[in-house]
Chains A and B, each alone.
Chain A
Amino acid sequence: MLTILVPLLVLMILGAVIALESKDLLSGIISLGIIGFALTIIFLLLQAPDLAIVQIIVETLTLVILIAAILKTTREDTTETFGFKKILLWGIGLIAIAAFLLVTVNIFKHLPPFGSPVLRMAQPYIDLGLPMTGAANLVAAIILDFRGYDTLGEATVLFTAVAGTVAVLRSVGRKRA
């Protein structure tokens, strides 16, 4: 398990660094795709096929939307420069990351270890999900029955974002007096 997951995670981090540092925005977005698709594989390995399906499709659509936005505008990043300032920023960034990691690693020691979650709320779902809701897919039972209210909210978030996107893309906002 670890032998597959760790290289994938390292790949994701490298993908993130490349996506953020490339001078070409299009290749930056495609590197973002690396992270998303690696995440899909990780979800599969973590026994989460629902997540894997949603992630792979959402990733594809995100890339389509972002690439459409890039093709409308420009793919050049004129702000990237190489020099002393960049090295300085990287240095500060690395130190900050290391400091934050020291804290979090200490915190993680006080949380349940990997592979043995606390099944306080989840145990009833696992035992009784099928008889209580009739859905064989426990994740579907949770998102649409036990926590259906969340899913109404989630669908509303998407609706909000669509309405917002359309509102923002109007060509004229104010009526001229």
Chain B
Amino acid sequence: MNWLPLFVVVPLGMAFLTPILSKWLKWFPDAAANLATGSAMALSIVALPFAKATTVYFVGGWMPFNGVPIGIHLVLDGLTVLMLLAVNLVAFACTVYSVSYMKHYTDKAKFVTLFLLMVAGLNGVVVSGDLFNVFVFFEITAIACYALVAFGVEAEELEASFKYQVLGGVASSLILLGIALFYWLTGTLNLADGARVLAQKEGNPAVFFIGGLLFTGFGLKGALMPFHAWLPDAHPSAPAPVSAMLSGVVIKVLGVYAICRVFFNVLGVTPALLSVLLVLGVVSMTVGVLLALAQWDFKRLLAYHSISQMGYIVIGIGLGTPLGILGGLFHLVNHTVFKSLLFLNAGALEYATGTRNLKRLGGLNRKMPVTSGTSMIASFSIAGLPPFNGFWSKLVIVLACVQAGHPIIAGWAVLGSILTLASFLKVQRYAFWGELRETWARVREAPAPMCAAMIALAILCLAMGALLIPSVKAAVLDPAVEVLTGGLSYASKALGG
């Protein structure tokens, strides 16, 4: 298990070298980016067999002293492995894609540096078992995102970045305040040890207060419905690979994953929390899709759909039943893949035509067959048509809703899915079908690296329904579900091992 820190260390090292070496070696930024994310992806596949047990890595070799952890622990369990897979898969696709795509921007070396720092931050958040360490890596991710959103330095992008920074800054402060109170109450920062201490302090109102602060902070970072104001501006403004990371991964790691880890495994789940999650999920799902219907900017439309799909994930997790959590996590991974793919499609359209206004596009399926075909697959996935992956996860969520005694929510989720389909039929109709306009007569298909990234993700969209095959499910999804349903037993697992 000596390789667990490599998830963070490899991207960081490459990021530190890029600013210097890129001065002489023009190929270095691309090579560094692909090498770092590629090896991180390989490592996360290597980590798959470790999903069933909880492995703890003691940074600095500081073993617990009299049973109290004194160093920082890295923890690898089912949920971690699932998130690592999702993060590094999309990150690798995005770096391959950005080899060509970022030629439209200046100063690729800085882009690569920031992108790798973002990936390192995400991996750091996922593998960490220490609350303050999580906060530090949150900040790395967030600051890299702020800068990447404004990477094009146009007026709109700067404005979106500013909005994002203000809300993100408030969120960070709330989280830090929560951590301060957590330390104040428990005297420890280790998540597992904290859970053990908190178990003796049941009913202390301070725990609810800490929970409220952390929930608000994570919710702001993850753009759950009442806190979503920054997302529809920030996600479309970034360069396409960054939008794909932001919508596909960042909001899930900083929002859903953090909430799951802290509430399910440390602070303890209460029925009140679950019903809050359910309500937020339903509201996000409905409002997101309704707002998306009215959009004509392709990436902005996708950003609203991110809010809506986050609603599905939160509904699944908020049900609290094993089936619901399974659906939520499955949909999380699926959404990571198809939403990233859609953003990459939007980027390819923008790369080829220079616009992402759907009204100005049209008939591009003959000119850009790869982009058109992959975006069709992704659209059907997000709308939940069989046999694509989105169908299976939505099916599980709907079944879980019925099973848990919420048939109205189940019906509502199906309705939301139909509206999503309508919205994406609009995209297909205006962007790819219909008459080819005179303006686009000389448009060409996107370069090979971009096509390769899109095709790989599209194949995943088709193949990921296979995650429900019992033997595959037992290896990948079930360990992650067990981490959440196991609740506070996380403490004994992460300290006993």
Contact call A111/B114, Cβ cutoff below 8 A: no
Binary contact track B56-73/A, C-beta < 8 Å → 1, others 0 = 000110100110111110
Selected contact of A157 from candidates B65, B133, B139, B187, CB within 8 Å: B139
Selected contact of A110 from candidates B124, B152, B206, CB within 8 Å: B206
**A170→B189 CA distance, assembly (Å):** 40
Contact call B154/A173, Cβ cutoff below 8 A: yes
Contact call B136/A157, Cβ cutoff below 8 A: yes
Interface residues of A in 128-166 (CB under 8 A from B): 128, 145-150, 152-154, 156-157, 159-161, 163-166
Chain A residue nearest to B5 (CB atoms) is: A149
**Provided the pairs A120-B68, A121-B69 are in contact, do residues A150 and B132 lie with their beta carbons within 8 angstroms?**
yes
* B415 at interface by CB-CB < 8 Å: no
* A172 at interface by CB-CB < 8 Å: yes
B residues near A165, Cβ cutoff 8 Å = 147
Chain B residue nearest to A158 (CB atoms) is: B143
* B2 at interface by CB-CB < 8 Å: no
Contact call B187/A118, Cβ cutoff below 8 A: yes
A residues near B143, Cβ cutoff 8 Å = 157, 160-161, 164
Enumerate chain B interface residues (CB-CB to A < 8 A). 12, 15-16, 19, 59-60, 62, 65-66, 68-72, 103-107, 110-111, 113-114, 117, 120, 124, 132-133, 136-137, 139-140, 143-144, 146-148, 150-154, 157-158, 161, 181, 184-190, 193, 197, 204-206, 209, 354
**A146→B73 CA distance, assembly (Å):** 11
A residues near B153, Cβ cutoff 8 Å = 168, 170-173
A156 CB to closest chain B CB (Å) equals 5
**A146→B186 CA distance, assembly (Å):** 19
B residues near A118, Cβ cutoff 8 Å = 184-187
Interface residues of A in 109-126 (CB under 8 A from B): 110-112, 117-122, 124-125
Chain B residue nearest to A168 (CB atoms) is: B150
* A107 at interface by CB-CB < 8 Å: yes
Contact call B184/A168, Cβ cutoff below 8 A: no
* A104 at interface by CB-CB < 8 Å: yes
Selected contact of A156 from candidates B120, B181, B184, B188, CB within 8 Å: B120
Contact call B117/A160, Cβ cutoff below 8 A: yes
Q: Which 3 A-B pairs have the closest CB atoms?
A: A164-B147, A118-B187, A120-B187
B7 CB to closest chain A CB (Å) equals 13
B290 CB to closest chain A CB (Å) equals 30
B69 CB to closest chain A CB (Å) equals 7
Chain B residue nearest to A152 (CB atoms) is: B12
B residues near A174, Cβ cutoff 8 Å = 104-106, 152, 154
10 A-B interface contacts by CB (under 8 A): A107-B206, A111-B185, A120-B197, A128-B65, A147-B132, A149-B72, A150-B72, A153-B139, A168-B147, A173-B152
Contact call B185/A149, Cβ cutoff below 8 A: no
